[in-house]
Structure 1
Amino acid sequence: METDEGEHVGDNGDIFVHRIKELTEEEKQRLESQNSRLIPEAKAAKLERDAKRHWDIFYKRNETKFFRDRHWTTREFQELINFDPEQRIVYLELGCGVGNMIFPLVQEGFSNFHFYACDFSPRAVEFVKSNPLFDESRMKAFCADLTTEDLFENVEANSVDIASLIFVLSAIQPSSWSQVAKLAFRALRPGGVLLFRDYGRYDMAQLRFKPGHKIADNFYMRQDGTRSYYFTEEELLKLFTDTGFEVLMNTYVQRRTVNFKEGIDVPRIFVQGKYRKPTNE
């Protein structure tokens, strides 16, 4: 559906727009205050070295309870359902966590999908393997660092029909993004599609960071030592086109997180993209 302002409204209420949020004076002051105390370079370097440990501790503490299953993906990414049901689809989840994306697809009856799921955290991968829906006959879960080439110890290059990178790239330091994009590009077959969603610039979570948490521009440390970046659509457009992808979608997503029981009603900003590997590769 199109609104009067030309915004596209998705089936689950997400609003897709091609403009960055305009900050209020109070929000500008909040962002400026974050610069009063930045994380020292030595600590930032240690956060990078300890990234796997921090995510393993995160999953030890939260197990499978933190992230909700992503039942919205088939509504927002029609590429997951626009295929011949007799066709064998190879699906790769880059940064699978505990399987919040692949298991809803299994529940929805995607019987022709063969799943590969990888994550930085060994503990997260173990949670995937211990899920009652895990089926070794058509699923493979394994550890992989997306900033290296070790993915290809388990997945053949040019073999994947659909890959996803959902709330993953933001946890990786910006200097390594191009390596991740190139890895996804290499894994996909010609004509294969990468599905992307992550945190957008000036999301409420970014505005809430206090001084002492900022690593670099738009890149922050959370209390538990994990990190998060907040993207613009222009950054993602350049990243994926420079890698060689054709852009099918690249936009901001605005939505509201509402919990009436807890009195929560906050605006959220994400970025969403669909990027295709050209067929002439």
Structure 2
Amino acid sequence: MHSTESRELSSEERTKLQLQDRRLVSGHQAEKLELHAKRYWDLFYKRNERRFFKDRHWTAREFKELCNDSENSYMPKVMLEVGCGVGNLIFPLIEEVKMFVYACDLSPRAIEFVKSHPSYNENTIKAFQCDITTDDISKEIELESIDIVTLIFVLSAIHPNKFHQTLLKVFTVLKPGGIVLFRDYGLYDMAQLRFKAGHKISDNFYMRQDGTRSYYFSSELLGNLFVEAGFEIISNTYIHRRTINKKEDLNVPRIFVQGKFQKPS
């Protein structure tokens, strides 16, 4: 369900958020998490390999822009996926859609998994390791050459101080009229409420047990970030879902933010 509202918190949930403030991540530890972000994600993929994330078959359903336009099917689109992981979005997509995909990730190990995938073909995919917050992406991609950029559960893993510079990098590689397709964790998502004291870094920004980090976005903040980076807002909403696991008697609300943002023509 799409909505302009996040959700009302119960008194118990408000208490959980207040308890998180009792002990914050120390400044020294927060600096270490930032300094070694690549290593923590590399260890994540060393442990989980291709097993952790499911293939994202839903992306073409949610974002019609990823589907071929029948009138222009002879003109394949050029896409950049930032934070491609092991390819859970790109490999299902290229089975259905004619396009060329650039795929980058902070983790060298994730890129190795992409390149070793049986469907990897450099005629349709170019994968490369990149820190989108600092690296010169023009070494890999010509400026203003990309039709679509996907940011799917990736901006949340970046330090909030680097949101703006990340979106500016994305802006430079998009063609005028090009769009960003975005989905990430929303404010008051179940995962945010489950953090205990000692895991909060700053407002809505948390450390997981494995050293990776996660930010929880309001749609208002998200819209402001994109506008400040020069984009126009096409859509910007909350997505409400439920995680149901009957075996574990689990039925909890999930909240994501989803948007489409366009570089002016």
Give the TM bin, normalised by the shorter chain: over 0.9
Q: Which runs of 5+ in 2 are unaligned?
A: none
The whole-number CA distance in structure 1 between the counterparts of 2:202 and 2:87 is: 30
Whole-Å separation in 2 of the counterparts to 1:183 and 1:106: 25
CA contact (8 A) 2:2 2:238 kept: yes
**Equivalent position to 1:184, from 154, 170, 179:** 170
Which letter does structure 2 place at the counterpart of 1:100?
N
Once the two structures are TM-superposed, the CA of residue 149 in structure 1 deviates from its matched residue by 3.7
CA distance in 2, matches of 1:134, 1:254: 34
- Which of 61, 79, 101 is equivalent to 2:89? 101
Partner of 1:206: 192
Q: Does 1:86 align with 2:77?
A: no
- How much has 1:156 moved relative to structure 2? 0.7
State whether residues 168 and 198 of structure 1, in contact with CA within 8 Å, keep that contact through their aligned partners in structure 2. yes
Q: Does 1:31 align with 2:13?
A: no
Give the structure 2 partner of residue 250 of structure 1. 236
Task: Tell me the secondary structure at the aligned position of residue 227 of structure 2.
Answer: helix
CA distance in 1: counterparts of 2:220 and 2:13, whole angstroms: 22
**TM-score (norm. length: structure 2):** 0.97
Give the AA of the match of 2:77. I
Alpha-carbon distance in structure 1 between the residues aligned to 2:47 and 2:24: 27
1:46-89 C-alpha deviation (Å, 9 max, x unpaired): 10001000000000000010011100001110111152211121
**Alpha-carbon deviation of 1:265?**
2.0
Map 1:1-281 onto structure 2 (within 5 A): 15-81=1-67, 83=69, 84-108=72-96, 110=97, 112-279=98-265
Q: Percent identity?
A: 58
Q: Distance in 1 between matches of 2:225 and 2:88?
A: 26
- Name the residue aligned to 1:4: none
Shift of 1:261: 3.9
CA distance in structure 2 between the aligned counterparts of 1:254 and 1:76, rounded to whole angstroms: 14
Counterpart amino acid of residue 165 in structure 1:
L
Counterparts of 1:49 and 1:28 in 2: how far apart (Å)?
32
> Quick one: distance in 1 between partners of 2:248 and 2:201?
31
Q: What is the deviation of 1:257?
A: 1.6
Q: Which moved more, 1:55-64 or 1:81-90?
A: 81-90
Runs of 4+ residues deviating >6 angstroms: none
Q: How many Å apart are 1:194 and its aligned residue? A: 0.5
Q: Which runs of 5+ in 1 are unaligned?
A: 1-14
| Post-superposition offset of 1:260 | 3.0
Structure 1 residue 176, shift from structure 2 partner: 0.2
- How many residue pairs end up in the alignment? 263
User: How big is the shift at 1:241?
Assistant: 0.6
Partner of 1:10: none
Contact 1:149 1:183 in 2 (8 A): no
Given that 2:6 and 2:255 are in contact with CA atoms closer than 8 Å, whether structure 1 keeps it comes out as: no
SS at match of 1:27: helix
- 1:264 CA displacement: 2.8
Report how far residue 256 of structure 1 moved.
0.9
Query: Do the aligned partners of 2:83 and 2:154 also contact (CA within 8 Å) in 1?
Result: yes
TM-score (normalised: structure 1): 0.92
The residue identity in structure 2 corresponding to 1:70 is R
